[in-house]
Chain A
Amino acid sequence: MTLKRYVATRLITMFGVLMITLLITIALVGSNMDNILKQGVVFQVRSEITENPAIAESFSSVNEFESFVQSQIDQRIKTLGLYEPWYSPQRIGFTMYKILFLDFGHATFLTSDSGSSDVKEIILEKLPRTVLLFTTATIIISVIGIFLGALSGSKAGSVIDRITSSFAIISSSFPVWWIGMLMIFVFSFVYQIFPARATPLIPSSDPNYIISLLYHMTLPLITIVMIGFGSWAYLVRNFIVGIMQEDFIIAKKTMGVNQKKIVYTHALKNAAPPIVTILALSLSGSLGGAIITEAVFDWPGMGRLYFEAITVMDLPVIIGATYILTVFFLISIFVADLLYGYFDPRVRTE
Chain B
Amino acid sequence: MSNITPQEIKEEFFKSKIGIAGISILVILIFTSITVVVVTPVDTFKEWNDPVKWIAYPKVAIPVWINLFLSEKIPEHRILDTPNINYEISRDISVTSHQFGVNFDYDDFPNDFIYEFSAKYSGTPLLQIDVIRPDGIQLRLLSSSMPYSNSNSIHSERIFSTDDIIKKNLNLQSNKFLFSSSNLSSEDIIFSKTEKHEPLKGNYVFLIKMYNSNSENQIPESRLIIGGKAFGVMGTDELRRDLAVGLLWGTPLALFIGLVVAIASVLMGLLYGVYAGYRGKKTDEAMMRFNDVIYALPALPFLIILSVTISNSIFVMVGFLMLFGWVGIAKVARSMSLQIKIRGYVEAAKMMGQKDSKIVFRHILPQLLPYAFASIAISVPAAITTEAGLSFLGLGDPSFPTWGQILHDANTYGASARGLWWWIMPPGIMIAITGLAFVFIGNALDSIVNPKLKR
CA–CA, A333 to B394, complex, Å? 30
Contact of A21 among B297, B392, B435 (CB under 8 A): B297
CA–CA, A170 to B452, complex, Å? 22
Given the complex, which residues of A lie within 8 Å of B289, measured CB to CB?
13
Binds B, one of A175-183, A253-261, A262-270, A340-348: A175-183
B257 → A minimal CB distance (Å): 14
Task: Say whether A292 faces chain B, with CB atoms less than 8 Å apart.
Answer: yes
**Is B428 a contact partner of A175 (Cβ separation < 8 A)?**
yes
Number of B positions contacting A (CB below 8 A): 47
Given the complex, which residues of B lie within 8 Å of A333, measured CB to CB?
295-296
**Is A289 a contact partner of B300 (Cβ separation < 8 A)?**
yes
**Is B393 a contact partner of A307 (Cβ separation < 8 A)?**
yes
Binds A, one of B170-178, B196-204, B238-246, B303-311: B303-311
Contact of B301 among A13, A17, A175, A322 (CB under 8 A): A322
CA–CA, A333 to B327, complex, Å? 15
Given the complex, which residues of B lie within 8 Å of A307, measured CB to CB?
304, 393
Are A291 and B393 CB-contacts (below 8 A) given A21-B297, A321-B301? Answer: yes
Binds A, one of B221-229, B259-267, B270-278, B413-421: B413-421
A-facing residues in B410-438 (Cβ within 8 Å): 410-411, 415-419, 421, 424-425, 427-428, 431-432, 435-436
Q: Which residue, A25, A157, A177, has most C-beta atoms of chain B within 10 A? A: A177
**Is B439 a contact partner of A172 (Cβ separation < 8 A)?**
yes
**Is B309 a contact partner of A29 (Cβ separation < 8 A)?**
yes
**Is A177 a contact partner of B389 (Cβ separation < 8 A)?**
yes
Are A288 and B300 CB-contacts (below 8 A) given A28-B309, A185-B416, A185-B421? Answer: yes
| A interface, over-half SS | helix
Bin chain A's interface residue count. Answer: 35 or more
A-facing residues in B437-454 (Cβ within 8 Å): 439-440, 443, 452-453
Given the complex, which residues of A lie within 8 Å of B305, measured CB to CB?
25, 28-29, 310, 318, 322
CA–CA, A179 to B429, complex, Å? 10
Residue ranges of B at the interface with A (Cβ–Cβ < 8 Å): 289, 292-293, 295-298, 300-302, 304-306, 308-310, 381, 385, 388-389, 392-395, 407, 410-411, 415-419, 421, 424-425, 427-428, 431-432, 435-436, 439-440, 443, 452-453, 455
Residue ranges of A at the interface with B (Cβ–Cβ < 8 Å): 13-14, 16-17, 20-21, 24-25, 28-29, 32, 156-157, 169-170, 172-175, 177-179, 181-182, 184-185, 188-190, 196, 238, 241-242, 245, 288-289, 291-292, 295-296, 306-307, 310-311, 313, 318, 321-322, 325-326, 329-330, 333
